[in-house]
């Protein structure tokens, strides 16, 4: 009996500028979604056939190595560093020595309902060189847009001018690629696969896999909150000492709360201590302390203290922004 395993490359090297100043202290892939780091969640969600997750890292290398050192999350983790940020294509190419065949590639900040096994079946059946997950949006101008004909991607446009978009189908940041596509990427150079490689393969073995459900690029404060609530799903905390829970909420078991109302849509991280607070539609990261405040649509922490009402704010140890 022959067992075939596959590798998944997760692109986790970006600067996460849209989540600054939070990402000054925690690299985006290690930011938690419902109390589990984004990248760990992605690795755990991989279908069983993927036994190895290759993390393409530039910014945040030390933090990532420290986090995964000695931690068993059920798959082999290979961390592949880049001395210089190589862009999405260059980063994939940099992982080439670790792949053995058809490879899945993920943008590390995507949270979606995609069925990777179904996508893989289609990829094999069509004999594609590459299959791109596609998501339909009303305004595609900020994204990579494709023209899809009989399942094949015939044209690829990266962030087209408004009015010139080929369709409403956008690149959802999840790919299945044959090694020959990775071989097209020059090694050791900064290359965007979206701008420099996909347009060349369009019409020549590049297929689309439209899917429905949800798709969140969790890279902005609003979408990071949304991704948290999606990841929380229905697995909230039923009861917690010192908290009255409204709707769906998740409270880490180590949090110490007194006279608090939590929810709906609220996630309280480890080591948090709060008294007389109302927390709604917010994410409170580790070791935050709070007193006497109503907090709505906020991202707070880690290690931050607050004592006043807050809305639509991101507060980190390195500063705060409103959004
Ligand atoms: P912003 O700075 O807020 O746009 O976030 P970002 O740095 O994550 O950029 P973007 O969201 O466009 O990147 C998409 C995905 O590719 C993310 O998962 C990034 O981590 C990853 N990525 C972008 N550039 C690089 C790179 O040069 N090297 C590696 N390894 N990954 C990258």
Backbone region of residue 173 per phi and psi (left: phi > 0; alpha: psi in -120 to 50; beta: other values): left
Q: Is 234 a catalytic residue?
A: no
Q: Kindly give the number of the ligand 1 atom that is closest to the alpha carbon of 219.
A: 3
Q: Is residue 28 within 6 Å of ligand 1 at its C-beta? A: yes
CA of 11 to the centre of ligand 1 (A): 7
Q: Is residue 219 within 6 Å of ligand 1 at its C-beta? A: yes
What is the spatial distance between Cα 248 and Cα 242, in angstroms, rounded to a whole number? 17
Backbone region of residue 12 per phi and psi (left: phi > 0; alpha: psi in -120 to 50; beta: other values): alpha
Q: Is residue 15 within 6 Å of ligand 1 at its C-beta? A: yes
- Summarize pLDDT for 146-176 with one digit per residue, the tens: 999 999 999 999 888 988 999 999 999 999 9
**Is-above-0.75 flag for pTM?**
yes
* C-alpha distance across the termini of the chain, in Å: 55
pLDDT above 90 for 124: yes
Per annotation, catalytic residue among 118, 121, 149, 159: 159
Percent above pLDDT 70 for the chain: 99
pLDDT above 80 for 215: yes
What is the chain's length? 323
Under the banding of pLDDT at 50, 70 and 90, the label for residue 227 is very high
pLDDT above 80 for 36: yes
- Report the nearest-CA residue for atom 14 of ligand 1: 107
- Hey, which residues does 145 pair with through a beta bridge? 157, 170
Q: Is residue 60 within 6 Å of ligand 1 at its C-beta? A: no
- Report the nearest-CA residue for atom 8 of ligand 1: 14
* 180-205 burial code (b ≥16 CB/10 A, e <16): ebbebbeeeeebbbbbbbbbebbeeb
Measured from the Cβ of residue 90, the count of other Cβ atoms closer than 10 Å reads 24
Q: Kindly give the number of the ligand 1 atom that is closest to the alpha carbon of 107.
A: 18
Q: Is residue 87 within 6 Å of ligand 1 at its C-beta? A: yes
Among 14, 79, 112, 224, the mutation site with the greatest number of ligand 1 atoms within 8 A of its Cβ is 14
Q: Is residue 86 within 6 Å of ligand 1 at its C-beta? A: yes
CA–CA distances in Å: residue 293 to residues 20, 289, 308, 309: 24, 11, 5, 5
């Amino acid at each position: 009996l022959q067992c075939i395993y596959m590798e998944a490359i997760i692109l986790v090297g970006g600067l996460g500028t849209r989540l600054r100043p939070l990402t000054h202290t925690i690299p985006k892939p290690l930011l938690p979604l419902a109390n589990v780091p984004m990248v760990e969640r992605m690795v755990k969600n991989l279908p069983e056939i993927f036994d190895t997750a290759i993390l393409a890292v530039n910014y945040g290398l030390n933090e990532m190595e420290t986090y995964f050192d000695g931690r068993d999350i059920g798959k082999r983790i290979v961390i592949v560093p880049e001395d210089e940020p190589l862009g999405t294509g260059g980063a994939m190419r940099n992982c080439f020595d670790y792949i053995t065949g058809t490879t899945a590639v993920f943008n590390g900040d995507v949270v979606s309902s995609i069925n990777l096994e179904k996508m893989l079946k289609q990829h094999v059946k069509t004999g594609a060189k590459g299959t791109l997950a596609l998501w339909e949006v009303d305004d595609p101008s900020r994204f990579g847009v494709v023209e899809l004909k009989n399942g094949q991607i015939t044209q690829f446009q990266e962030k087209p001018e408004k009015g010139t978009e080929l369709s409403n189908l956008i690149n959802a940041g999840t790919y299945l690629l044959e090694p020959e596509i990775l071989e097209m990427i020059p090694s050791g150079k900064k290359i965007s696969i979206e701008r420099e490689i996909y347009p060349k393969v369009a019409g020549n073995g590049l297929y689309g896999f439209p899917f429905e459900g949800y798709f969140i690029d969790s890279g902005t404060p609003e979408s990071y909150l949304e991704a948290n609530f999606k990841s929380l799903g229905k697995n909230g905390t039923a009861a917690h000492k010192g908290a009255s829970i409204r709707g769906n909420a998740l409270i880490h078991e180590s949090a110490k709360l007194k006279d608090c109302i939590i929810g709906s849509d609220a996630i309280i991280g480890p080591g948090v201590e709060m008294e007389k607070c109302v927390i709604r539609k917010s994410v409170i990261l580790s070791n935050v302390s709070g007193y006497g405040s109503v907090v709505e649509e906020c991202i707070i922490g880690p290690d931050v203290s607050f004592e006043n009402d807050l809305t639509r704010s991101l507060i980190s140890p390195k500063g705060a922004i409103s959004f």
